[in-house]
Amino acid sequence: MVTMPQDYRWASHRYYVQAKGAPSWLNSQEAIEQIGGRQSFHEFVLSGNEESLKAYYEAQRHSPILGGEAFLERVRQSGAIVGREHPRYERQAVEAEPERVIREVVRHYRVTREEIFRGMRGRENEARKVALYLVKRCCDRTLPQIAQYFGIGSYSAVSWSCRAIQSKMAKEKKFRDRIEKISANIN
């Protein structure tokens, strides 16, 4: 442990305080100019953190939700409980629900909800594939979760459908624009 920041071997602080010996990739000049010189920078670092920030980190482990005020308010109003241990679950608390994706695909493709959920081997069902892809993309669900939701026996079929949509999007700009438009209406 060190008592002064510039003494810590793995930190760049010493190069901000004294440019001598700084690696060529380190550009400290902008930060030094904005804070008012090398001595001001050093004093700023030694002053420590604001009390509110210090209190935040000294408290028990938190799971913050980051974003603008409108987003934060929407999350607060939803009453979503955000787990502390599982990043995927944290994301799901603020992601769109699969049902919202289904409604948007049904509206855009002018098909019934039943057609989205009914898979028929050998018959092209673009709306169904798009729904599978968008649930994966917009709802952050795993392939097995998506397969279960759509009543598909194997999640590899979900993976195949998602890859087919991604491939078509890469080749056809008009199709990609259509998918992006649907996605924008979901989020």
pLDDT in tens, 170-186: 999 999 999 999 988 88
Which residue bears the tokens 């420590």?
A: 48
Q: Flag the least confident range among 63-67, 131-135, 176-180.
A: 63-67
**What is the overall mean pLDDT for the chain?**
81
Q: Please give the Cα distance from 169 to 173 (Å, whole number).
A: 7
- Asked: is 98-186 a CATH 3.50.50.60 domain? The reply is no
Q: Is the pLDDT of residue 132 over 80?
A: yes
pLDDT of residue 95: 65
pLDDT in tens, 73-125: 777 676 655 554 445 545 444 567 899 999 999 999 999 999 998 877 768 89
**Greater pLDDT, 100 or 9:** 100
**What's the confidence (pLDDT) of residue 111?**
94
Query: What confidence score (pLDDT) does residue 79 get?
Result: 60
What are the domain boundaries of the chain? 5-48, 62-92, 98-186
Q: What is the pTM of this model?
A: 0.51
